[in-house]
A and B are shown apart, each in its own frame.
Chain A
Amino acid sequence: MAEISLPPPSSLGRNPIIRALRSVLLLRESWVGVVGVLIVLFWIVVALLAPVIAPFPPNQNLLPFKPPGTVAPDGGVFWLGTDQLGRDILSRVIWGARRVLIYAPLATACAYALGVTMGLLAGYKRGLWDDVLSRIGDIILSFPILVLYVVIITTFGPSGINIVLAVTCASAPGIMRIVRGLTLDLRNRDYVAAAQTRGESSLYIMFVEILPNARGPLIVDACLRLGYTIITIGVLGFLGLGLPPPDPDWGGMVNETRAMAAFAPWMTVFPCIAISSLVLGLNLLADGLREISLKD
């Protein structure tokens, strides 16, 4: 079959930033991806501009149990209503975006750092490394994930760092399995043999020769995993194991107000919408990335 390839571009950007921007522009070709990017960007902008756009301070007690659209004493409007302590829901959702967009990416990044290293070691070194690391992963994965979170956080106490720690422990084995599988395939490529026969260290081969060529599936997985992590942080908040009050946290907001959901649904619904939309955006982005990677 005739192999059709387009002529290479005459000048290639050596600058990695330009190249990264170019691959982001490729997303145009998938409308699903574009919608995903727009949703995620919306929440990033909201989080960045929280002090400017939030109408009220997030922890200030004003008028309790006010439905959406009530006019505040100072003339402002509670667009999404207030909660049982009289705090403005809109402001709390806006500030809550900040927290979730700090802790979720941080936790995912930590999980990736650990999972990728473990996966590369298991897949490239094989033998004892593989046996030990894979078994550790299996043991962690055999726990019901929620029990694992509860155990870790009740042991170390609820705090931002401990949430990151819990997510890292729980996600790393899954990432390790993906990376290990990719490495097992890539380690047999001739360019890896070429690197070995010029005396490169294992570390160089794992991180420079193998890892960059595994990036495609990993980027898609990272987007999905970031979504799961946001849900996880929400769930932990709901179980009362999340970030300590009174600072706003989407999962925590749902937890605090769920008893009143029957007669004051706005208190529960809006934080829920916030969580779902961000996760949806990330999943759409992952779908778009996958679609593009299949086309190439």
Chain B
Amino acid sequence: MAVELIPPRDTTTPILEIDKLSISYLTRAAEIPAVVDFSLTVRPGECVGLVGESGCGKSTVAMAIMRYLGRNGRIAGGSMKFRGRDLMTMSEEELRRIRGAEIAMVYQEPMAALNPALRIGDQLAEVPLCHEPGCTREQALARARDMLARVRLGDPDRVLQAYPHQISGGQQQRVVIAMALLSNPSLLLLDEPTTALDVTVEAGIVDLIAELGRTLGTAMLYISHNLGLIRETCDRVCVMYAGQAVEEGTIDQIFAAPRHPYTQGLFGCIPTPGRDKTARPLVPIRGQLPLPQNRPKGCWFGPRCDHFEAGRCDAGPVPMLPASETRGVRCLRWQEIEAQPPVPAPLEVMPAAVAAVAAVANDLPVLEVAAMRKHYPIYDSSVAALFGSDRTRYVRANEAISFEAKGGQTVAIVGESGCGKSTFARVLMGLETATDGTVSFRGTDIGRKPVQQRDAKLLSSLQMVFQNPNDTLNPSMTVGQQIGRVIRKFGVKKGRRDVEEEVLRLLDLVKLPRAFLDRKPRQLSGGQKQRVGIARAFAGAPAMVVADEPVSALDVSVQAAVTGLLVDIQRRSGTTLLFISHDLGVVRYLADRVVVMYLGQIMEQGTTDAVFQPPYHPYTEALLAAVPVADPTIEKKRIILEGPLPSPLDPPQGCPFNTRCPRKLGSICETEAPPERAGTDGHVIRCHIPLSDLEAVEPVLGRAG
């Protein structure tokens, strides 16, 4: 597409200057400072990242820039200037002219940002019609169409006519970005724009944002909790903790040598390629984010910091100290603390780690799945279907799933949303029954045995850890009651005293304080709830635990702790772990074997080592390339998948991946199911491309430089 000439802009005045900004929320109890002493400058054409865990105040900063804090929010001090104009003293009328026209925002949930009752074209046309007097509807629609083409939507004319629910999540987010850019804003605020999307879709959006930054020269503030994403999109980054900026600098500076202990801690929590659970385990940050009213005197990170020095770090508020011209660190000891560059990680799994895993795993398969199929019937009760022939259609959630898991192994099932991985977990747990094939658990077929027909022994030996921490525990029962019920139900212990003792033992096992016995779930944090969920799953000494995305709803530092705990308990008890995840980083870190699923079918499976190195299935390759990597020593191939995910109601003929495959051979992919190509050690790739050709592919991840 043609790149328009950018209207010349003043390139010397910063777009946004925030100086010593403080924001408070008024609650019934007290005024709570959410953001304190926050300074940030965004220059023209620059993309600045704002990174931090939930509750660190990064979204509050974005809302404050829009002067849109809601009733109970109040800017308590500091100044904000937008292109030299003071944002703090602007009237509502002036603000309204700026919002949407000069400062635009893209939110996390694209579906919530679009009006479901209006066509996309009408919604987009509203922007110029509203902000530019004299703009006609035809002009507005033409501009909307151009912008849709610019955000690389394949068929802009069709999208203009569509309602939001008729396009996919990735397309919706592109529309939202187009809408934000239509008024040609000088500052674009992006608040977690890809968090709700799948990785391969995310890769496309990230690519688009980076390109738009280059071609349009729009300054951007990119808010994210994902360090890898920040590294791939931004020029500079500001790390926030508990409402303060703790470190600021260019991407190269921060990612090569983080100075603040919190930033260093964050890097220790993310499973970068080359980390693995045996040789280089994740290091969680201890403790918890302090509540605003419990923040310590002095450095707010002090209680969780390994470099804390009494009498110095807790003496008084710590200012942002300039480390160089472009860099600031809010730490008194930054010069004494060694700048820990992330150690250049080996990209191969270490032999020692392989040996350790082999020692744990024994040869007996605990789970053998053979040609398992799960179809959900959909009954069409429309009048048209009444006269037609197919009143029933099938959602092909699982199609001929075959794999096995040995005792003590960790087998990961990876895939994007809708690939059928959770359906498989539900069949395994007996919450659904298989349509066809066998699911053999310790020698007995349980595929068609619903949970009501399973005996206590089978139930206790196959347990599950759920995804959503807010849903996994019953809100009206105490932690002790919930774990105690499992113990009594599985007959582990009887009698009130014994059960309570066992509950306490399990709380110790998941490293929760014993006082949590009487707590209700709403008094626990997300990570603590997941720990209780793990305690509950391991209460009956299970032979196998199914963990369905157990950490994906948690913060990075909490993820590391919960993942570590899960691996630790699993290894000590010799339990087989079936780990379901969309996060290849976590999977690479903890799995022994990996099963890659797409549209209900297994595309590739093998040892972690084999799956993460060539030969790859083209889908695995794209998936690997889509994961943002926070390690600057690693260089990554760029593969962006085109097109939306097909519906499992009507999967493509031949190879299910043929509609999006960048290596498609030709018509054979559309007509014939791909053959299984076997590699070493149970490595299987289902693809028409011969193994030797797949082997010749360059690895996705390489050493930079």
The yes or no answer to B472 lying at the interface (CB within 8 A) is yes
Q: Is A5 at the interface (CB under 8 A from chain B)? A: yes
Interface contact B519-A196, CB-CB below 8 Å = no
**Would A4 and B292 count as touching, CB distance under 8 A?**
yes
Q: Within the assembled complex, what's the spacing in Å between the Cα atoms of A212 and B59?
A: 35
Chain B residue at minimum C-beta to C-beta distance from A198: B489
Q: Which of A48-56, A60-68, A186-194, A260-268 contacts B (4 or more CB under 8 A)?
A: A186-194
A190 close to B466 (CB less than 8 A): yes
Identify the closest chain A residue to B32 (Cβ). Answer: A4
**A197 and B476 contacting across the interface, CB-CB below 8 Å:** no
Tell yes or no: B518 within 8 A of A by CB.
Answer: yes
Given contacts A2-B60, A4-B25, A191-B471, contact A197 B464 (CB under 8 A): yes
Which single residue of chain B is at the shortest CB-CB distance from A4?
A: B32
B12 at the A interface (CB under 8 A): no
Whether B431 lies near A213 (C-beta < 8 A) is no
CB of B97 closer than 8 Å to a CB of A: no
Q: Which of A5, A7, A194, A199 contacts B456 (CB 8 A)?
A: A199
In the assembly, what is the distance between CA of A7 and CA of B476, in Å? 18
Check if B25 sits within 8 Å of A2, measured CB to CB.
yes
- Find out whether the CB atom of B291 lies under 8 angstroms from the CB atom of A7: yes
Residues facing A in B463-477 (CB within 8 A) are: 463-464, 466-468, 471-477
Residues of A within 8 A of B667 (CB): none
Contact flags (1/0) for B531-542 with A, using CB distance below 8 Å?
A: 001001000100
A8 within 8 A of B: yes
On whether the beta carbons of B472 and A198 are closer than 8 Å, the reply is no
What 1/0 flags go to A208-219 for Cβ under 8 Å of B?
010011010000
Min Cβ gap A20→B in Å is: 13
Bound form: Cα–Cα A194–B540 in Å: 13
Within 8 Å CB of A8, what residues of B? 519, 523
Q: Which residues of B contact A5 (CB under 8 A)?
A: 291
Is residue B704 contacting chain A, with contact meaning CB distance below 8 A?
Answer: no
The answer to whether the Cβ of B29 comes within 8 Å of any Cβ in the partner chain is yes
Residues in chain A within 8 A of chain B (CB atoms): 1-8, 12, 14, 189-191, 193-194, 196-200, 209, 212-213, 215
B 18-47 binary contact with A (CB < 8 Å = 1; else 0): 000000010101001010000000000000
Residues of B within 8 A of A200 (CB): 489
B473 touches A197 (CB 8 A): no
A8 to B292, CA, bound (A): 15
- Measured CB to CB, the nearest residue on chain B to A196 is B451
CB distance from A177 to the nearest CB of B (A): 22
Q: Is the CB of B474 within 8 A of A209?
A: yes
B55 touches A3 (CB 8 A): yes
Q: Which residue of A lies closest to B519 (CB)?
A: A8
Chain A residues whose CB sits within 8 angstroms of the CB of B34 once the complex forms: 2
Give 1 or 0 for each of B452-491: 1 = CB within 8 Å of chain A CB: 0010100110111011100111111110000001100110
Task: Give A213 to B476 CA distance when docked, in angstroms.
Answer: 6
Within 8 Å of chain A (Cβ to Cβ): is B128?
no
Any chain A CB within 8 A of the CB of B429? Answer: yes
Give A2 to B33 CA distance when docked, in angstroms: 10
Q: Which of B55, B430, B533 contacts A197 (CB 8 A)?
A: B430
Given known contacts A2-B243, A213-B476, A197 and B431 CB-to-CB distance under 8 angstroms: yes
A199 contacts B476, C-beta separation under 8 Å: no
Are B463 and A191 closer than 8 Å at their CB atoms?
no
The tally of CB-CB contacts under 8 A between chains A and B is: 82
Q: When the two chains form their complex, are residues A4 and B27 in contact, meaning their CB atoms are under 8 A apart?
A: yes
Contact present for B475 and A213 (CB under 8 Å): yes
User: Which residue of the partner chain, among B292, B466, B476, B490, contacts A212 with CB atoms under 8 Å?
Assistant: B476
Over the window 57-71 of chain B, the binary record of Cβ atoms lying under 8 Å from chain A Cβ atoms (1 yes, 0 no) is 101100100000000
CB < 8 Å neighbour of B474 from A6, A191, A197: A191
Contact partners of B472 in chain A: CB under 8 A: 190-191, 194
A3 and B518 within 8 A (CB): no
Whole-angstrom distance from the CB of B37 to the nearest CB of chain A? 16
A186 to chain B, nearest CB (A): 10
CB-defined A-B contacts under 8 Å, sample of 30: A1-B59, A1-B60, A1-B63, A2-B34, A2-B243, A3-B55, A4-B25, A4-B291, A8-B519, A12-B478, A12-B518, A14-B518, A190-B467, A190-B471, A190-B472, A191-B471, A191-B474, A193-B466, A196-B430, A196-B431, A197-B429, A197-B430, A198-B463, A198-B485, A198-B486, A198-B540, A199-B451, A199-B454, A199-B456, A199-B489
A214 to chain B, nearest CB (A): 10
Distance in angstroms between the alpha carbons of A203 and B547 in the assembled complex:
27
Q: How far is the CA of A215 from the CA of B476 in the complex (A)?
A: 10
Interface residues on B, range: 35 or more
Q: What separation, in Å, do the CA atoms of A220 and B451 have in the docked complex?
A: 36
For residue A191, which residues in chain B have a CB less than 8 angstroms away from its CB? 471-474
Chain A's interface: helix, strand, loop or mixed, by majority? loop
Please give me the 8 A-B residue pairs with the lowest Cβ-Cβ distance, nearest first.
Answer: A190-B466, A8-B523, A212-B476, A190-B471, A191-B474, A190-B472, A2-B34, A199-B459
Q: Whole-angstrom distance between the alpha carbons of A4 and B456 in the complex?
A: 42
Contact with A along B511-533 (1 / 0, CB 8 A): 00000001110010000000001
Does the CB pair A2–B489 fall under 8 Å? Answer: no
A2 and B292: CB pair below 8 A?
Answer: yes
- For window 396-418 of B, CB contacts with A under 8 Å fall at none
Q: How far is the CB of A120 from chain B (nearest CB, A)?
A: 15
> What separation, in Å, do the CA atoms of A262 and B25 have in the docked complex?
61
B659 within 8 A of A: no
Instruction: Say yes or no: A190 contacts B468, CB within 8 Å.
Output: yes
Q: List B311-338 residues whose CB lies under 8 Å from chain A.
A: none
Chain A CB within 8 A of B91 CB: no
In the complex, what residue of chain A is closest to B536 when comparing beta carbons? A194
Tell me, yes or no, whether B444 is within 8 Å of chain A by CB.
no
Chain A residues in 8 Å Cβ range of B456: 199
Given contacts A4-B32, A12-B518, A212-B476, could you give 18 more A-B pairs where the C-beta distance is less than 8 Å? A3-B55, A4-B27, A8-B519, A8-B523, A12-B478, A189-B471, A191-B474, A193-B431, A194-B464, A194-B472, A197-B430, A197-B451, A197-B462, A197-B464, A198-B463, A199-B454, A199-B459, A209-B474
How near does chain B come to A283, taking the closest CB pair, in angstroms? Answer: 26
Q: From residue A291, how far is it (CB to closest CB) to chain B in Å?
A: 14
Given the complex, which residues of B lie within 8 Å of A7, measured CB to CB? Answer: 291, 294
Give the residue among B430, B473, B485, B490 with the most A Cβ atoms within 10 A.
B485
Verify B451–A12 contact, CB threshold 8 A: no
Q: Is B54 an interface residue (CB 8 A)?
A: yes
Residues of B within 8 A of A4 (CB): 25, 27, 32, 291-292
Chain A nearest CB: distance from B489 CB in Å? Answer: 5
Closest chain A residue, CB of each to CB of B456: A199
A171 to B130, CA, bound (A): 52
Cα distance, A16 to B25, chains bound together (Å): 34
Most B C-beta atoms less than 10 A away, residue of A6, A198, A199: A198
Bound-state CA distance A45–B674 (Å) is 81
**Residues of chain B within 8 A of A1, CB atoms compared:** 59-60, 63
Residues B423-467 near A (CB distance < 8 A): 429-431, 451, 454, 456, 459-460, 462-464, 466-467
Closest partner residue, chain B, to A202 (CB atom) = B452
Contact with B29, one of A6, A14, A196, A212 (Cβ below 8 angstroms): A6
CA distance A199 to B485 in the complex (A): 11
Name which of B34, B454, B476 has the most chain A CB atoms within 10 A of its CB.
B476
Nearest-CB distance from B524 to chain A (Å)? 9
The residues of A that contact B477 with a CB separation of less than 8 Å are 212
Could you say which residues of chain B place their CB within 8 Å of the CB of A198? 459-460, 463, 485-486, 489-490, 540
Minimum CB–CB distance from B517 to chain A (whole Å) comes to: 10
| Assembled-state Cα–Cα distance A190/B536 (Å) | 13
Q: A190 vs B25: C-alpha distance in the bound complex, in angstroms?
A: 33
B438 CB to closest chain A CB, in angstroms? 20
Compute how far the CA of A191 lies from the CA of B477 in the bound complex, rounded to whole angstroms. Answer: 11
Contact partners of B533 in chain A: CB under 8 A = 194
**B50 → A minimal CB distance (Å):** 14
CB nearest to A29 among chain B residues: B28
CB distance from B222 to the nearest CB of A (A): 18
Q: Bound state CA distance, A12 and B294, in angstroms?
A: 21
Q: Which residues of B contact A197 (CB under 8 A)?
A: 429-431, 451, 459, 462-464
| B292 adjacent to A213 (CB under 8 Å) | no
